[in-house]
């Protein structure tokens, strides 16, 4: 499989994940109900955000990037512009249009780790900053002697270098620290840091929750050749399916473990589902190519994830009576998923249409969506 096809199915996977995000928000915000009453939505929650951060970490790895102070600074500057300004603009606009009391709602949003739904871009920015700092430090300690060309970022083709080795070591340390921070979120008897105002306002609680998946995606890209051999083995997929079934079953139904241990099967299921879905999209890469209608549609959504994420909140339908019905009839797995999916696709369509109109202006295209016109450098 060449690099082009791999990126195509990855864009399709990103589009698939964006659909899950909008589907979840349509169900939760639109039907005014908690996803805990829906086995379908609770199952999707196990892997939708881990998948998103996995993809972000995968794409963050740039084999040939120099990581000099100037290049790293330029990268940070661009990320700050792309992640912060659009979030502030659309978050403010959404609150202004929907809240009865603007300042009260704005204060509540900033005090919450999820920022009224607009937490994702801010947490992703924090992940990028952590990752860039690690790569820059590794480059300072052991400057690279060279790397792959920009046209081929397959890590298995790269020559060994001190910089790559130091990057890998530092990233592994941060990965282990992120696992520990994640575990403390579910140990309230011993760790109470998540309740402190600083961590709520900065959304570092969500950073601790998902940084592990960003780093997992980065590791997979770095060792893509080895990962492909692993997922092509006969034993891995059956093992992952068993782990996903047992972990999700305990999380959703059985509840065999108590207290701090209860999060263990859920976490194992999250990892299993992420790898299963990535392996599936990679295996059926031809289906998700631009030559296939499904592939083209998912890829189009995939390359507009920022636009859709920022805009879709404006179009979520308010149907609380539907939520009341689903809560009274919780076993309609297929029905609730189908209705939420149809509405989510409509919301995505309106978000893309709005994005297309806003992108007519080069100024808005740059400052709201981080895209520069072709004639701009």
Closest CA to 308 of 20, 99, 13, 5: 20
Q: What is the mean pLDDT of residues 212-235?
A: 95
**Residue ranges per structural domain of the chain:** 3-369
Each residue of 90-120: pLDDT tens digit? 999 999 999 999 999 999 999 999 999 999 9
Tell me what pLDDT residue 152 has: 41
State mean pLDDT over 225-240.
Answer: 95
- Asked if residue 332 lies in contact with residue 326, where contact means CB atoms within 8 angstroms, the answer is yes
Half-sphere exposure of 323 (CA within 13 A, CB side): 19
Answer yes or no: are the C-beta atoms of 4 and 295 closer than 8 Å. Answer: no
Least confident of 4-8, 45-49, 59-63, 223-227: 4-8
In this predicted structure, the answer to whether residue 37 has a pLDDT above a threshold of 90 is no
CA dist list (Å): 326 to 22, 160, 331, 332:
18, 55, 8, 7
CA distance 314 to 38: 24
Residue 110 is predicted with a pLDDT of: 95
Identify the band that residue 62 occupies on the pLDDT scale cut at 50, 70 and 90.
Answer: confident
The pLDDT-based confidence of 1 (bands split at 50, 70, 90) is: very low
CA distance 368 to 360: 12
Say yes or no to pLDDT of 270 above 80.
yes
Predicted confidence (pLDDT) at residue 45 exceeds the cutoff of 70: yes
**Does the model's pTM come out above 0.85?**
yes
282: its two tokens: 């990679």
- The residue ranking higher by pLDDT, 196 or 34, is 196
pLDDT of 319 higher than 80: yes
Residue pair 57/218 in contact by the 8 Å Cβ criterion: yes
Give the CA-trace dihedral at 54, 57, 58, 61, to 10 degrees. -170
């Amino acid at each position: 499989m060449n690099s082009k096809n791999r990126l195509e199915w990855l864009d399709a996977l990103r589009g698939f994940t964006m659909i899950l995000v909008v589907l979840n928000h349509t169900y939760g915000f639109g039907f005014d109900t908690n996803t805990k009453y829906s086995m379908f939505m609770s199952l999707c929650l196990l892997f939708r955000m881990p998948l998103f951060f996995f993809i972000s970490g995968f794409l963050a790895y740039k084999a040939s990037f120099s990581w000099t102070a100037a290049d790293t600074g330029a990268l940070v500057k661009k990320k700050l512009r792309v992640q912060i300004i659009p979030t502030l603009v659309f978050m403010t606009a959404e609150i202004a249009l929907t809240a009865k009391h603007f300042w009260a709602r704005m204060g509540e949003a900033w005090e919450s780790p999820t920022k009224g739904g607009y937490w994702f871009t801010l947490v992703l920015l924090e992940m990028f900053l952590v990752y860039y700092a690690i790569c820059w430090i590794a480059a300072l300690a052991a400057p690279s002697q060279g790397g792959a060309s920009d046209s081929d970022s397959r890590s298995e083709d790269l020559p060994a270098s001190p910089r790559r080795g130091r990057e890998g070591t530092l990233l592994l340390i941060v990965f282990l620290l992120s696992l520990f921070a994640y575990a403390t979120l579910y140990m309230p008897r011993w760790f109470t840091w998540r309740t402190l105002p600083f961590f709520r306002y900065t959304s570092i609680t969500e950073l601790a929750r998902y940084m592990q998946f960003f780093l997992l995606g980065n590791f997979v890209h770095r060792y893509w050749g080895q990962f492909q051999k692993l997922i092509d083995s006969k034993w891995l997929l059956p093992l992952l399916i068993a782990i996903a079934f047992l972990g999700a079953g305990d999380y959703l139904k059985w509840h065999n473990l108590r207290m701090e241990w209860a999060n263990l099967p859920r976490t194992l299921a999250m990892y299993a589902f992420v790898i299963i879905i990535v392996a599936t999209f990679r295996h059926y890469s031809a289906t998700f190519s631009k030559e296939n209608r499904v592939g083209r549609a998912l890829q189009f959504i995939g390359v507009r994830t920022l636009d859709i994420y920022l805009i879709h909140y404006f179009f979520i339908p308010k149907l609380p009576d539907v939520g009341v019905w689903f809560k009274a009839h919780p076993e309609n797995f297929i029905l609730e998923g189908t209705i939420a999916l149809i509405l989510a696709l409509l919301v995505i369509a309106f978000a893309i249409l709005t994005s297309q109109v806003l992108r007519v202006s080069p100024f808005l295209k740059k400052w709201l969506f981080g895209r520069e016109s072709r004639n701009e450098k």
